[in-house]
Amino acid sequence: MKKLSVIIPCYNEAEGRIPEVAYNRLLKVMKSMENYEYEFIFVNDGSKDDTLLILKELAEKDQNVKVLSFSRNFGHQCAVTAGLKKVTGNACIIIDADMQDPPELIPEMVKLWEEGNDVVYGKRRSRDGESAFKLLTANAFYSFLNYMSDVDIPQNTGDFRLVDRKVVDKMNSLPEHSKFLRGLWAWLGYKQKELEYDRAERFAGTTHYPLKKMLKLASDGIYSFSSKPVKAIGLVGVIFLIFAFVSFCGTIISVIVGGPTFNWFIVSALCFIGGINMFALYLLGNYIIRIYDEAKGRPQFVVDEEIN
């Protein structure tokens, strides 16, 4: 009998007892699939409320519930990564605890997996309860990321997906620390299939992806999958060198013919070029920081407690 592993990251989800609600919905789905064994891997990402207490209650009454608890908040991508390293099933499903991504789609995902697809990812047809600003920025980000990247990353997707065990093993073998999982699944390749759905509004609590974390996720995606910013800066540098040379020649000719020297223009140009250089150093610095992080060899997360 095949086994399905479900990874559920949790962070400050005690309001509305979200992990318990998620467990009940997932359990109902798994019970309807009689030909499959299952395990639930809840990852407590350093919650400061009673999330861990709720998870312990679930693990006590159901041995199929496994709990990983971090020593502090390491972030959503690290929580998913930790779950991936613990799966024992033939395939795993990644889904957030807030149940905005409907677990009732799992049987359809499993069907597509049984038909030979190695990755079945959810593609959002609509996103209830999200502001126009978030929708606009999300679409703009994925359009920009695909333009910058050499890998085609599907738009309007999140981490909600089913992944075959062999793909999970390949993901676990990747040594990098600043993982942008949505991009890495695409980078790994294999046979992938989209499944469209309507994303529901969060039923309790508040989102744990504010603008600051969204910007961090966006930067991880760009720096992990694109070297074009550096190339673009190089091109701009060449253009400004040519511009500086032409300006210098123009100044010399102006001096020879007795015209104005345009000193103010040269000063402005130098200041602008200085600004471009500073921005270029900023971009290069981000790549160097990532090299430094990889060289340190620190673990991506620290597990404080494991249950079941």
CATH for 195: 3.90.550.10
CA angle 138, 213, 120 (to 5 degrees): 55
Any alpha helices (H) in 40-162, and if so which ranges? 51-61, 76-84, 106-114, 132-148
Together in a domain, 177 and 245: no
Asked if residues 213 and 176 have their Cβ atoms less than 8 Å apart, the reply is no
- Burial of 119 by CB count in 10 Å (0-12 exposed, 13-18 middle, 19+ buried)? buried
Angle CA 243–248–252, to nearest 5? 150
Answer yes or no: is 302 within a domain.
Answer: no
- The DSSP bridge pattern shows strands 65-70 and 36-44 to be parallel
Q: Are residues 137 and 198 in the same domain?
A: yes
Q: Could you tell me the two tokens for 60?
A: 């006590």
Domain shared by 238 and 218, yes or no: no
SS3 72: coil
Three-state SS annotation for 185-227: HHHHCCCEEEEEEEECCCCCCCCCCCHHHHHHHHHHHHHHHCC
Q: Say yes or no: 267 and 142 in one domain.
A: no
**Token digits for 55?**
């998870």
pLDDT in tens, the chain (308 residues): 889 999 999 988 888 788 888 889 999 998 888 889 999 999 998 888 888 888 998 888 889 999 999 988 888 888 898 899 999 989 999 998 888 888 888 999 999 999 999 999 888 876 555 556 565 665 666 666 656 566 666 777 778 889 999 999 998 888 777 777 777 888 888 898 888 887 766 555 555 555 565 666 556 656 665 656 666 666 676 676 677 667 767 666 766 766 665 565 665 567 667 667 767 776 776 677 667 666 766 677 788 888 88
* Gyration radius of the chain over CA positions: 25
Q: Indicate whether 304 belongs to any domain.
A: no
pTM assigned to the model: 0.69
Instruction: Indicate whether 105 and 9 sit together in one domain.
Output: yes
Domain containing 142: what range? 2-226
Examine the domain organization and report whether 20 and 109 are in the same domain: yes
Provide the number of structural domains found in the chain: 2
> Does residue 179 sit in the same domain as residue 270?
no
Q: Is residue 303 part of a domain?
A: no
Question: Is 250 within the bounds of a domain?
Answer: yes
Q: Are residues 200 and 250 in the same domain?
A: no
Give me the long-range contacts of 289-293 (CB less than 8 A, separation at least 24).
290/178, 290/223, 293/177, 293/178
Strand-pair partners of 157:
123
Residue 156: left (phi > 0), alpha (psi -120 to 50), or beta? left
